[in-house]
């Protein structure tokens, strides 16, 4: 796995964790703190914490929208991060993994990906000693030890630890878009995982048959729902909050969570 330096300056200071090199010792020392779970400095507007004062200063650029992507509107802390992000729009991925041939837009992403093949887990949680192969996984894990959920849905006020969780929630719960088309029928799904589950209806054997008709199903829960809806066999499940009835326990559970989220309890 190779990478190309951005200039010809000598970089004698090496981080043994991430393989990054630096021109100055103080930059190397600051970088090494990234591999620690400690966060010492916070930004007053969003209360987000950082390792150094310089990191706080760079973070302010996100709020000031100084380094803003003209394609998607996402903001970054400096020009280097913005330039790296723009490569995602152009599909420019010049760094290839020699093991699985997966390509990446930056050498740092390739280095982190390589640890998956080597089984390396260099990022350690200081609270429970659990280790991770990438810093992003450690960052996501740290939310387990706190109740901090700064990302709130503007539609139902449900909160999430990460912005990715909020985006997924809005797409699955509040959006009517169904971009994933079944290749066997007219059904469209919101997510690719939903589509894969649906495709099983066409391709997987269905061992659970209805005793009243010719219908058959992959899972016993689907047969139970069919018997209730089509043949009135079984009992309906009722929401304790609004008394709406459901034939599937998962549907009832999801509905109850939404009732609580909008304050109906």
Angle, alpha carbons 87-22-52 (nearest 5°):
85
- From the list 148, 150, 155, the residue with the least C-alpha distance to 171 is 155
Specify whether the CB–CB gap between 173 and 262 falls below 8 A: no
Domain limits for position 249: 235-265
Side-chain-facing half-sphere of 253: CA atoms under 13 Å: 3
Give residue-wise pLDDT tens across range 159-217. 887 777 888 888 778 888 888 888 888 888 888 878 888 887 787 778 888 988 988 88
Note whether residue 264 is domain-resident.
yes
- pTM, two decimals, is 0.32
Q: Which residue, chain included where needed, has tokens 């309890």? A: 265
* Total domains present in the chain: 1
User: So what's the pLDDT on residue 98?
Assistant: 85
Residue 251 maps to a domain: yes
- Residue 250 placed within a domain: yes
- Is 249 domain-assigned? yes
- How do residues 83-141 score in pLDDT, each as one tens digit? 877 776 765 677 888 888 888 777 777 887 887 777 767 778 887 878 887 777 787 77
């Amino acid at each position: 796995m190779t990478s190309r330096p951005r200039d010809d300056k000598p970089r004698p200071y090496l981080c043994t964790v991430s393989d990054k090199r630096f021109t100055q010792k103080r930059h190397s020392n600051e970088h090494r703190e990234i591999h620690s779970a400690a966060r010492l400095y916070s930004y007053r507007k969003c209360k987000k914490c950082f390792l150094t004062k310089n990191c706080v200063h760079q973070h302010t650029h996100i709020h000031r929208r100084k380094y803003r992507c003209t394609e998607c509107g996402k903001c970054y802390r400096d020009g280097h991060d913005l330039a790296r992000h723009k490569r995602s729009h152009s599909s420019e991925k010049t760094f290839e993994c020699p093991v699985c041939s997966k390509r990446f837009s930056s050498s740092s992403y390739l280095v982190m990906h390589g640890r998956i093949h080597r089984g390396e887990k260099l990022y350690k949680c200081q609270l429970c000693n659990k280790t991770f192969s990438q810093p992003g996984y450690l960052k996501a894990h740290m939310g387990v030890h706190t109740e901090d959920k700064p990302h709130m849905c503007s539609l139902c006020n449900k909160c999430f630890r990460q912005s990715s969780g909020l985006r997924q929630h809005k797409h699955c719960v509040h959006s009517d878009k169904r971009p994933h088309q079944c290749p066997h029928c007219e059904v469209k799904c919101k997510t690719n995982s939903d589509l894969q589950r649906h495709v099983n209806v066409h391709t997987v054997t269905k061992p659970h048959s209805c005793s009243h008709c010719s219908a058959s199903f992959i899972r016993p829960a689907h047969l139970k729902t069919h018997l209730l809806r089509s043949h009135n066999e079984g009992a309906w499940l009722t929401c304790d909050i609004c008394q709406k009835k459901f034939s599937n326990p998962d549907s009832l559970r999801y509905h109850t969570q939404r009732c609580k989220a909008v304050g109906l309890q």
